Amino acid sequence: MIRCMMVRKQVYLEEAQEARLKERARLLGTTEAELIRLALDRALEEPGGLVSTREFQRFLEYASTRDQLDVEASPRDWRRDDLYGR
């Protein structure tokens, strides 16, 4: 048996995505984590990944202009725990 090192990642899913993921894992008799790994492998193997090369280029052009904006930086006024509605 070949063992590979796993790295834990936390992702946020929409409720509908979670429901579909759970159902598909149940139907296929596999884990949600395995389905996520398979989907990620498939997305990374396709030319251009998840987005088209043209769209990615548009993003890069936009991102390169961000530091040229005349916007005053402001300190963050929230804490990570605030995101969880505690």
Q: What is the mean pLDDT of residues 4-12?
A: 90
The residue type of 13 is: L
Percent of the chain with pLDDT over 70: 88
Q: Which position has the higher pLDDT, 28 or 86? A: 28
Do 21 and 35 contact (CB within 8 A), yes or no? yes
Rounded CA gap, 83 and 72, in Å?
A: 24
Domain range summary for the chain, segments of one domain joined by +: 15-66
Q: pTM score > 0.95 for this model?
A: no
Say yes or no to pLDDT of 15 above 90: yes
